[in-house]
Amino acid sequence: MPKMLLFSDDLTLSYDLLIQYDSLRFQIEFDFRDSKQYWGLEDFRNIGETPVNNAANLSWFMVTFSRIILSKIPGVQHGSMLDLKTVFRARKYTRRIINMLGINADEFLSDNNIFEAAESGMIFGEGIDRG
């Protein structure tokens, strides 16, 4: 197990609780990064209180919602936002290409096996079981 050196000014705090707080702190930092980088928290240009509140809440909602969606994709254990984008982009383009060929994508993609090749760019998605 890797060694950690954690500091706290609360001398009554147990070591296991300190480790838990530290891991939560990193998760919060990752969530801030995702909300800024992928869900517009950094880009909105609102100045009124209600629009700022709505934009920030939507960004945080999308981070949470994305985590839920990632947990539902079979075979993706430690998925990132890039993996989520890869999955949905691959499915969108696969459907468009099949429809452009004059084939009904809904009938052709009934078992979702064709998405394996399209989703090969995922970081953590190797060996995904679609069954």
Sequence-distant contacts of 24-28: CB under 8 A, at least 24 apart: none
| Residue at 119: amino acid letter | E
pLDDT at 128: 44
Contacts of 113 (CB under 8 A, 6+ apart): 130
pLDDT at 70: 82
Domain boundaries, the chain: 13-72, 77-131
**Sequential pLDDT tens for the chain (131 residues):** 678 788 888 889 888 898 888 888 888 898 888 898 888 888 777 788 898 888 889 999 998 998 888 887 776 666 778 878 877 888 788 888 887 888 776 666 655 555 555 555 555 544 444 43
pLDDT at 129: 44
Tell which residue, 51, 49, 56, 53, has the closest CA to residue 31: 56
**Distance, CA of 29 to CA of 125 (rounded, Å):** 24
